[in-house]
Amino acid sequence: DQQVKQNSPSLSVQEGRISILNCDYTNSMFDYFLWYKKYPAEGPTFLISISSIKDKNEDGRFTVFLNKSAKHLSLHIVPSQPGDSAVYFCAASGTSGTYKYIFGTGTRLKVLA
């Protein structure tokens, strides 16, 4: 049973436009969520996180929104740049700072120049 789901395997966006990547989860005990970006032949790198006490966290061009009632989070990238082309994984854990993580299946973002 996939507790963290990214239902869009891929997404293409024009440079300068907004990219919206979505993630759904089923376990109501999750209270800390993260997004990672992965380039080919490299490990995932941390992008942004959000605790369940917040509904939004922003870092430069990246904003994560959390809708706890819908068990849904999204990553917005504005404006999108060709260097953002990568696979994006969302991840969830039960307690902020805990060590057990559940990852989604990833969304491949392609930003077209």
Residues that bind another protein (CB under 8 A): 4, 6, 34, 36, 41-46, 49, 89, 91, 96-97, 99-106
CA 11 to chain centre: 13
The identity of residue 28, as a single letter, is S
CA angle 77, 92, 82 (to 5 degrees): 25
CA 4 to chain centre: 11
CB of 15 to another protein, least distance (A): 27
Residue with Cβ nearer another protein (67 or 98): 98
Residue with Cβ nearer another protein (39 or 55): 39
Residue with Cβ nearer another protein (79 or 105): 105
CB of 17 to another protein, least distance (A): 26
Contact 31, 50 (CB under 8 A): no
